[in-house]
Amino acid sequence: MAVKSIKRAEGKIRVKDQKLNALLEITNAINSNLSKEKLFAIYEFVLREQLNIGKLCLYLNEGDWNCALKFGLDREELDVDVERDLLTITEITEVNSHTYGPFREFDVVVPVYHKTKPLAYLLIGDLIEEALQISPIIKHLPFIQTLTNVIAVAVENKNLVEESLRQEGMKKELELASEMQSMLLPTELPDNNQMDIAVFYQSHQQVGGDYYDFIELDENEFCFCIADVSGKGVSAAILMSNFQANLRVLVHHTESLSELIQVLDKKVMDNAKGEKFITIFVAKYNIKTRMLNYVNAGHNPPVLITGENMSLLKSGCPGLGMVDDLLFIKEGRISIPEGSSLFCYTDGLVETENEQNVEFGTEGLEESLRNNINEKPSVMNKNVLNDLKRYKGKANYADDIALLSLKFF
């Protein structure tokens, strides 16, 4: 009798040692930052080889419920739907292992929770004894639950770290993209006795789809434009960067603005595949003749301020990439009197709403411009933006905003 007691005690000590060693091994693996695959390999070895579990399926909550580990099953695909079949189970539960049904290969469900959040569900089957109540596995279920908890938390932490690194990588990429995009915008703009130009750009996200440019064609003529890609973010920025490269090349190799717009439209159609479009106001100004030629391709009409009068530059065509072929382009041509100003902008300016969801609108813009008719472009831009900021109050900006203002002396 004493020998049996000693052997039983030795057996219990051996099992306890195995459990402690298993926890220690997994803890060391976690501290060593081993991969999820290696953690699962240790976990499987403990359950399969040391605790003699014949069938197992582990579901982990990794944003979606996934089967992270399974062995000993007759079927490759299971009928278990975690949300349908398992979310109501909060304690270790014997399941009905009938011939049919989602649990037909299993005997026990072991849930793992963190407070009220389910982290994992472990389904165990093929227990050694036919009667579940006398199976030696039963006494190990609390340990199995603890072990599974350790694994589930470790995997969740690994996923959080990976997501954090991914987000940090994306943040750095966006910062680089933002820097690259800012480098593409002109930094040297004329401020002399012939003209003064001022610009402003604010992206709604780190990168955006608004664009302005100033290109000297010869000593007497220059081209300038302001444009907006439909949509926001990286895809809009990429399309706009490609568009800018095409424009800067083509403006020197096309005879007229109409031809330039025709070619650019084909480029946009080829690159965007009809999923995005670009609105643009593009103009050429001759300092000697004071003639301004322009095309407005679906863009918000710039405001020409001459004395106390304001007029909108609307002549043009639909936006680029909106239709298969631009059959008709109307090119505007006007003479610019001395002292005139031209205010160009993208739709993010006038579409910004106040706290009552009412847009700033062209009315708000024109009122602001009337109060700044005689100001230099940089001051005009600043005051318009201040008026917009006061108007919107605590509401957020809705879109990218770009401004391009010119004063003709």
Q: What pLDDT score was predicted for residue 5?
A: 47
Higher pLDDT, 213 or 103: 213
By DSSP bridging, strand 341-345 and strand 221-229 are unpaired
Query: Are 249 and 383 part of one and the same domain?
Result: yes
Query: Are 39 and 85 part of one and the same domain?
Result: yes
Q: Which of the four pLDDT bands, split at 50, 70 and 90, describes residue 9?
A: very low
Assess whether pLDDT exceeds 80 at residue 339: yes
Query: Are 48 and 189 part of one and the same domain?
Result: no
| Domain boundary, last residue among 109, 130, 162 | 162
Q: Is residue 398 in a domain? A: yes
Q: What pLDDT score was predicted for residue 259?
A: 96
Q: Which domain holds residue 399?
A: 185-408
Query: Are 131 and 233 part of one and the same domain?
Result: no
Give pTM, 2 decimals: 0.65
Query: Are 309 and 386 part of one and the same domain?
Result: yes
Q: Is residue 173 in a domain? A: no
Q: What pLDDT score was predicted for residue 176?
A: 63
| Domain boundary, last residue among 162, 197, 225 | 162
Q: Is residue 92 in a domain? A: yes
Assess whether pLDDT exceeds 70 at residue 51: yes
Cα dist. 105→53, 55, 76 in Å? Answer: 13, 8, 12
Mean pLDDT, rounded, of the chain: 86
Fill in the DSSP letter of residue 140: G
Summarize the confidence of residues 248-252 as an average pLDDT.
95
Assess whether pLDDT exceeds 90 at residue 193: no
pLDDT, tens only, 368-379 = 999 999 999 999
Q: Is residue 10 in a domain? A: yes
| Domain boundary, last residue among 162, 197, 223 | 162
Q: Which of the four pLDDT bands, split at 50, 70 and 90, describes residue 24?
A: low
Domain count, the chain: 2
* 33, containing H or E segment: none
pLDDT, tens only, 69-112 = 999 887 777 888 999 999 999 999 888 655 557 888 888 999 99
Query: Are 122 and 233 part of one and the same domain?
Result: no
Query: Are 142 and 244 part of one and the same domain?
Result: no
Angle between helices 36-45 and 141-184 (to 10 degrees): 170
β strands within 101-204, DSSP E:
108-114, 117-125, 195-202
Q: Look at residues 302, 222, 320 and name the one whose alpha carbon lies nearest to residue 264.
A: 320
Summarize the confidence of residues 387-394 as an average pLDDT.
96
Q: Is residue 56 in a domain? A: yes
CATH code where residue 85 lies? 3.30.450.40
Query: Are 198 and 52 part of one and the same domain?
Result: no
Buried b vs exposed e over 236-270: b needs ≥16 C-beta within 10 Å? Answer: bbbbbbebbebbeebbeeeeebbebbbbbbebbbe
d(CA 280, CA 189): 20
Query: Are 47 and 136 part of one and the same domain?
Result: yes
Q: Is residue 179 in a domain? A: no
Assess whether pLDDT exceeds 80 at residue 261: yes
Half-sphere exposure for 357 (CA within 13 Å, toward CB) = 0
Q: What pLDDT score was predicted for residue 123?
A: 93
Query: Are 225 and 373 part of one and the same domain?
Result: yes
Q: Is residue 359 in a domain? A: yes
Q: What pLDDT score was predicted for residue 121?
A: 95
Q: Which residue's structure tokens are 């197992």?
A: 56
Q: What pLDDT score was predicted for residue 60?
A: 93
Q: Is residue 169 in a domain? A: no
Q: Look at residues 278, 286, 306 and name the one whose alpha carbon lies nearest to residue 209.
A: 278
Query: Are 87 and 142 part of one and the same domain?
Result: yes
pLDDT, tens only, 107-129 = 899 999 988 889 999 999 876 54
Query: Are 343 and 390 part of one and the same domain?
Result: yes
Residues contacting residue 342 through CB under 8 Å, at least 6 positions apart? 302, 303, 304, 305, 313, 336, 405, 406, 408
